[in-house]
Amino acid sequence: MRAASGAVLDNGLSAAEAAERSRRDGPNALPAARRANPVVEFVKQLVHFFALMLWVASGLALLAGMPALAIAIAVVVLVNGVFSFVQEYRADRAAERLRDLLPVRATVRRDGKPITVDATELVVGDVLLLEAGDRVCADATVLSGGRLSVDESLLTGESAPEHPDEGGRVHAGTYVVEGHGAASVTATGTHTRLAGIAQITAQATRPRSPLTGQLQRVVRIVSVIAVSVGVLFFGIALLLGFAPGEGFLFAIGVTVALVPEGLLPTVTLSLARAVQKMAARNALVRQLESVETLGATTFICTDKTGTLTRNEMSVVAAWTADGTVTVDGEGYLPEGRLYGSSAALSAAGALADSAARCSPDSRAVERGGTWHPVGDPMEVALHVLASRAGRPAPPPPLGRRPFDPYRRRSSVSDVDGLHVTGAPDSVLPLCVDLPAGAADAVQELSAPR
């Protein structure tokens, strides 16, 4: 529920107060998506416009004394329905596995002590403790923070992180990429901004695809033609002296013969093949007819990170006074190779090692078999470069001064000395022992282009 937090930064809520608010407000969880009844979804595959025409044709064939044809048409409809249902059911189950947007655990301060609780147990007024790599579990107001940087791309679509100050807002479903802080929970569960977006998504209606509209038009035209021809031949049969019963059966046979029984499975199998080919390219298609719409697409223009780009920052080259080094590697994987002269490789390794020491809060971590950044993506890329250069993990810092816009550099001291990173015109004047040509090379690379 929404309310003034009243939370005390030092102590947070008491365990008793948190339990009472949890009973009053309910769990901090998104509403479960209403699953469609599989039986209903299967029946839909058997009673759409085209299938109904085939059922009618099957019934007419049975009346005309052609049970084999009636059974064949019914089997076509059933097999097609089962195939379409299985395709869409599997796609829906795969999509459901992508909906786990909230984390399982969260760190809060209660009774003056930091504790880890299940994310569903968060309540309004809790003091939520955030650090790099955490996913925010509820909407909250920032109480304090140090270089707090939050990725809100899930809510806004923008890849650039936000930097909420004291009094700023963080939202459920976003995650902290850098810094640390404390925030007072102001909304949980169905009252969060994320829940509002989920509700809007659930209420969205899917328009009829062009293929569906065209098939319905074909069915209407074929139905009118088949019935008209059947009536015409019934009249001709009577004129030729057939008995009414015989003429009726003859007309039914003509009508059924005009129904394109093979069109439905042909369309379904063609779309299913396209779905399988897209699945091989890691594209999930939930509705078969959606594939047909893509067939008319010539260009897809988008600026959303994660579609055409991978939302990963990686070092591909390093320039040193001894030459250029190229870097080979995939994403944030620590494995990779550097190519260049021995002197350039040595200089690039020292450069990467010093840069990694300047960002002790950033690193790449493995989760579920894939590597993810924790901290500023550019700093994580420098850590990965150091790993690919064969450098050991940096020692713990003894002291540090974070980057600020006035100094335009950051510094970290450890057992091996002082490491500085920043703007060239801020760092170079402090250097007293530069390799030959290093200053000129840096100035050339940093000059406006």
Answer whether residue 85 is part of any domain.
Answer: yes
DSSP secondary structure of 368-405: TTEEEEES-HHHHHHHHHHHHTTPPPPPPPSEEE---T
For range 91-106, the mean pLDDT? 59
Answer whether residue 416 is part of any domain.
Answer: yes
> Judging by DSSP bridges, how do beta strands 317-320 and 175-187 pair with one another?
unpaired
Taking only Cα atoms into account, the Rg of the chain, rounded to an integer number of angstroms, comes to 33
Answer whether residue 264 is part of any domain.
Answer: yes
For range 373-390, the mean pLDDT? 86
Are 156 and 172 within one domain? yes
Query: Which of 167-181, 197-211, 223-237, 380-394 has the largest mean confidence?
Result: 380-394
Q: Which residues of 90-108 are buried (b: 16+ CB within 10 A; e: fewer)?
A: ebbeeeeeeeeebeeebbb
Do the beta carbons of residue 292 and residue 276 sit within 8 Å?
A: no
DSSP state of 406: T
Are 28 and 169 within one domain? yes
Residue 69: CB atoms within 10 A of its CB come to 19
Are 111 and 236 within one domain? no
Domain span at 241? 38-97+212-294
The last residue of a domain, from among 180, 201, 222: 201
Do the beta carbons of residue 182 and residue 145 sit within 8 Å?
A: yes
Least confidently predicted of 52-61, 168-177, 292-301: 292-301
Give the rounded percent of residues in the chain with a pLDDT score beyond 90: 4
Are 366 and 427 within one domain? yes
Answer whether residue 227 is part of any domain.
Answer: yes
Are 27 and 170 within one domain? yes
Give the pLDDT score at 235. Answer: 86
In whole angstroms, give the CA distance from residue 220 to residue 59. Answer: 18
Q: Where are the beta strands (DSSP E) in 152-266?
A: 169-170, 175-187
Are 357 and 229 within one domain? no
Are 238 and 114 within one domain? no
Q: Which residues pair with 414 in a beta bridge?
A: 417
Query: Largest Cα–Cα distance in the chain?
Result: 116
- Tens of pLDDT, residues 113-163: 888 888 888 899 889 998 877 888 889 998 887 778 888 877 877 767 888
Answer whether residue 80 is part of any domain.
Answer: yes
Are 25 and 166 within one domain? yes
Q: For residue 262, which phi and psi values (nearest 5 degrees)? A: -80, -10
Query: Which of 188-202, 304-318, 330-344 has the largest mean confidence?
Result: 330-344
Q: Which residue type occupies 104?
A: V
Q: At what angle do helices 210-239 and 244-257 cross, to 10 degrees?
A: 150
Q: How many domains does the chain fold into?
A: 3
Answer whether residue 310 is part of any domain.
Answer: no
- Tens of pLDDT, residues 334-354: 888 999 999 889 989 998 999
- Joined together, the tokens standing for residue 342 give 């021995």
Q: Which residues of 126-156 are buried (b: 16+ CB within 10 A; e: fewer)?
A: bbbbbebbbbbbbbbbbbebebbbbbbbeee
The C-alpha torsion from 133 through 139 and 140 to 146, rounded to 10°, is 20
The last residue of a domain, from among 201, 229, 253: 201
Structure-token match 């000129």, residue found: 440
Helix H or strand E encompassing 146: strand 139-151
Contacts of residue 189, defined as CB under 8 A and 6 or more positions apart, other chains included, come to 25, 26, 27, 28, 29, 30, 195
Its pTM stands at 0.49
Are 394 and 439 within one domain? yes
Structure-token match 């001709």, residue found: 236
Give the pLDDT score at 6. Answer: 44
Are 92 and 177 within one domain? no
Catalytic residues: 303
| pLDDT higher than 80, residue 311 | no
Answer whether residue 311 is part of any domain.
Answer: no
Q: In what order do the strands lie in the sheet with 409-414?
A: 399-401, 409-414, 417-422
| pLDDT higher than 80, residue 19 | yes
